[in-house]
A and B are shown apart, each in its own frame.
Chain A
Amino acid sequence: MAAKKLNMKDKYKMLTRDLDWEFSYQDRKEAFPYEEYEGIKITDWSKWEDPFRLTMDAYWKYQAEKEKKLYAIFDAFAQNNGHLNISDPRYVNALKVFLGGVTPVEYQAYQGFAHVGRQFGGVGARVACQMQSIDELRHVQTQIHAMSHYNKFFDGLHNWNGMQDKVWYMSVPTSFFHDARSSGPFEFLLAISFSFEYVLTNLLFVPFMSGAAYNGDMATVTFGFSSQSDEARHMTLGLEVIKFLLEQHEDNVPIVQKWVDKWFWRGTRVLGIVSMMMDYMLPNKVMSWREAWEIYFEQAGGALFKDLARYGIKPPKYVDIATAQMDHMSHQTWWNFYNFGEAAGFHTWIPSDKELDWLSEKYPQTFDKYYRPRWELAKKMEAEGKRFYSKGLPQLCNTCQVAMINTEVDDPTMLVYRSTEYKGEKYHFCSDGCHDIFVDEPEKFVQSWLPVHQILQGNCGGADLETVMREYYGMDVGVDNLDMKGSPDELRWKEWKSA
């Protein structure tokens, strides 16, 4: 009689979980020192449901084939001068932000998952984290390779790695991940796997993948498809971890709620720069940021939080404020970069008349009233030869490190200033959400490395901002920064196209 065929679950169990060992002569608690210190109670690791069942040999096989396909397309893209097929050279500035803002945090994700992949007492969770760790490293590499072609032809892509933890806006995603990685292992998974990868990931992917597709960037689209086939595993890990924590012990529920609140708010602040890419930096628009928020957060997230309510989890604190701000976020963010365009590592510009009309149509409640007049003024000044740059740098929020540009929900002309005192020092915040996060963990957030403070404290070299930018940030001043109009990027593009 033929041996009974193992189903996928049993096969996976034998190849992974059954390779775990018992702690016969060592104290299990010493082997997993971080498992309890967050207050999370795990009563039975065997209840962990493996979010995906992929053995290591299958993993290598799949990833190898993905890489082969992806690199064939990168080659074709490079050999055919794919950069000439993009919609408009302004598009490349979105890639500059991506490479400096996203690629380094993929590397941090690799480090974070490698760390927590060691720290869980349950083997199922360890295996899932280790596999994700390797995925993240692959994403770092493929992103660098996808964009390296652009580095040969455009400015501002040469020193993303040196800029990521120094530059005044790149520190936003960097510090987000520093916060998660310096948390306990369960908070890390809730922050990255659940809040970021599950709840907010589509808001990051749509502008990049669809944005690249709409703007003729075949290399980035293909990278996106290749990584999305990994993301699904990451999302299911996020779902499994929240279910597991909520089901293991009722005392976990308030801890999970606090993390949901914190990481939702942290996530929305990080997305500010994505909103600006979507509404302003993509020459061919996919949809507005507001529409993306409605589809991917309000509808999909609504269904999720309806299901989570059964566990006693409420929608994230301040979700109403975040939603109200979605009518303003991209406009305020791009205006801020337009103002501080002298100190940015990419180009900024005034939207074309057609784009201004599109924004009016997509944001009927806010754009004509609050933002269009600013652009009309900027246009007038530019026409008079007075392109305006704010000198210096903006004040940053002590929690999210975003510039203090956020406005009150009931008065969009009033900036939000929240502050608190801790051990005799005053700390400033862009929102109630960021204020509350600081107050809950002040010893952590007094250590925030705020780029603007650091310059003023003399920790970034230089007697003036230009020297800091040139020597500390590694920017090619006068080339990487300033307006798109008249930039070397624009001049080269015109030459290529007229040739």
Chain B
Amino acid sequence: MMSFLVTVEPTGEQIEVEEGQTILDAALRQGVWLPFACGHGTCATCKIQVLDGDVDVGAASSFALMDMERDEGKVLACCAIPESDLVIEADIDVDADFAGHPVEDFDAVVTAIVDLSPTIKGIHFRLDRPMAFQAGQYVNLTLPNLEGTRAFSIANKPSQADQLELHVRLVPGGAGTTWLHEQLAVGDTLRVSGPYGQFFVRKSDDKGAIFIAGGSGLSSPQAMILDLLEAGDSRPLYLFQGARNQAELYNRELFEELAQQFDNFHYIPALNAEESEDWQGFRGFVHDAARDYFDGKLEGHKAYLCGPPPMIDAAITTLMQGRVFERDIHMERFVTAADGADDSERSALFRRI
């Protein structure tokens, strides 16, 4: 099936729009937020400017998209169907902390494959040249004989620019992660593109940072924390790491050592299905660990969430009940083949969460 690449300015995010699909539909499905309301061409909330390329304006109402606007190249994202690759400008904010490193292609040679837990492998690569990225961002891997690409967050800090450390959890039924776990060998070369994503530390805001990570969603927070500590950042940092049991709680020693070494870094692991009696730490879900630690009062922090959708969802509720709201919540959802399509109706109350 044919598809077009649509670049959204001013953030530079990119979305693939399938033939006949509207820009809004593709954007929302790919986690790129655009303002919208009615969804069928009558309200004009989703009006965007086409900067380059051809587009069919679709069923936009003549009261919602004026003639003079059509002449200026404005379209409604909820009705507009690309007829070529496009560059559009939407009424969205550029994050002041977004560095906007360009996306490039790299050849990556596997240097090591480490068993981090029974289900998660750490895969280390050397890049053909350094990649500028922000801690928290991700890359896309092209895997042999598999259609499309697979996204993985970068776990190493940006100062190690010619390296890539990815944490790959084996997803039952997932063709990509199965291949990476079973077929990939040291010395293999993969095509990598990046960096992508709007998940990075908002350093311009000096509030303390709460990281909530679940499973292999530790990767981004790991890079972010290593980066902050390396730079001597003195804000309070809290890492809540969720896992089923001690065997799945990987890189624990790394963070325990960092907690010893840095007064402003606090490490709180949470296990929700640990059977052993010797576990002294928190038992339960990771969002409950955060609630428990702060006695429900999370106000005054920034929160960075990374992991599977149900964890993110529970963490958002905990944060909002603790009076941390959308503007201070940043996240990367790890959606896998095991997650069904989320077709439950959404309200327009929130933008990104």
A303–B321 Cα distance when bound, in Å, is 18
Given contacts A53-B91, A66-B63, contact A304 B45 (CB under 8 A): no
| Cross-chain contact B63 with A69 (CB below 8 angstroms) | yes
| Chain B proximity mask over A58-99: 1 for CB below 8 Å, otherwise 0 | 000110011001100000000000000000000000000000
Given contacts A65-B66, A66-B63, contact A229 B43 (CB under 8 A): yes
A306 within 8 A of B: yes
Report B-chain residues with C-beta under 8 Å of the C-beta of A309.
317
A206–B64 Cα distance when bound, in Å, is 18
Report A-chain residues with C-beta under 8 Å of the C-beta of B317.
309-310
| Cross-chain contact B44 with A232 (CB below 8 angstroms) | yes
Given contacts A300-B345, A304-B349, contact A229 B63 (CB under 8 A): yes
| Cross-chain contact A247 with B38 (CB below 8 angstroms) | no
B33 within 8 A of A: no
Report B-chain residues with C-beta under 8 Å of the C-beta of A225.
42, 61, 63-64
B280 within 8 A of A: no
Given contacts A302-B345, A303-B345, A307-B349, contact A226 B63 (CB under 8 A): yes
A254 within 8 A of B: no
B168 within 8 A of A: no
Among residues 197 to 250 in chain A, which have CB atoms less than 8 Å away from a CB atom of chain B?
225-226, 228-229, 231-233, 235-236, 239, 243, 247, 250
| Cross-chain contact B323 with A7 (CB below 8 angstroms) | no
| Cross-chain contact A310 with B320 (CB below 8 angstroms) | yes
| Cross-chain contact A7 with B93 (CB below 8 angstroms) | yes
| Cross-chain contact B67 with A65 (CB below 8 angstroms) | yes
Report B-chain residues with C-beta under 8 Å of the C-beta of A61.
66, 68
B98 within 8 A of A: no
| Cross-chain contact A304 with B347 (CB below 8 angstroms) | yes
A312 within 8 A of B: yes
| Cross-chain contact B43 with A306 (CB below 8 angstroms) | no
Select A62's contact among B66, B94, B344, beta carbons within 8 Å.
Answer: B66
Shortest CB distance A266–B (Å): 21
B62 within 8 A of A: yes
Chain A residue with Cβ nearest B349: A307
| Cross-chain contact A52 with B43 (CB below 8 angstroms) | no
A308 within 8 A of B: yes
Select A232's contact among B37, B316, B321, beta carbons within 8 Å.
Answer: B37
A56–B2 Cα distance when bound, in Å, is 42
| Cross-chain contact A52 with B68 (CB below 8 angstroms) | no
A80–B91 Cα distance when bound, in Å, is 42
Select B38's contact among A7, A232, A308, beta carbons within 8 Å.
Answer: A232
Which of B38, B63, B67, B317 has most A Cβ within 10 Å?
A: B63
A299–B325 Cα distance when bound, in Å, is 25
Among residues 317 to 347 in chain B, which have CB atoms less than 8 Å away from a CB atom of chain A?
317, 320-321, 323, 325, 327, 344-347
Report B-chain residues with C-beta under 8 Å of the C-beta of A9.
91, 93
Shortest CB distance A230–B (Å): 9
| Cross-chain contact A229 with B10 (CB below 8 angstroms) | no
A311–B325 Cα distance when bound, in Å, is 9
Shortest CB distance A487–B (Å): 35
| Cross-chain contact B43 with A232 (CB below 8 angstroms) | yes
| Chain A proximity mask over B254-273: 1 for CB below 8 Å, otherwise 0 | 00000000000000000000
A188–B348 Cα distance when bound, in Å, is 21
Report B-chain residues with C-beta under 8 Å of the C-beta of A250.
323
A456–B45 Cα distance when bound, in Å, is 50
Chain B residue with Cβ nearest A8: B91
| Cross-chain contact A303 with B344 (CB below 8 angstroms) | yes
A328–B22 Cα distance when bound, in Å, is 40
A225–B44 Cα distance when bound, in Å, is 11
Chain B residue with Cβ nearest A300: B345
Shortest CB distance A382–B (Å): 42
Among residues 428 to 464 in chain A, which have CB atoms less than 8 Å away from a CB atom of chain B?
none
A7–B93 Cα distance when bound, in Å, is 8
What are 30 A-B contacts defined by CB distance under 8 Å?
A: A9-B91, A61-B68, A65-B67, A225-B42, A225-B61, A228-B43, A228-B64, A229-B42, A229-B44, A229-B64, A231-B43, A232-B38, A232-B43, A232-B44, A232-B45, A233-B45, A235-B43, A239-B348, A239-B349, A247-B325, A300-B347, A303-B346, A306-B347, A307-B346, A307-B349, A307-B350, A308-B349, A310-B320, A310-B321, A312-B321
Nearest 3 CB-CB pairings of A with B: A232-B43, A304-B347, A310-B320
Could you list 6 further interchain pairs (A-B, Cβ under 8 angstroms) beyond the known A226-B63, A228-B63, A232-B43? A228-B61, A228-B64, A229-B61, A235-B43, A239-B349, A300-B347
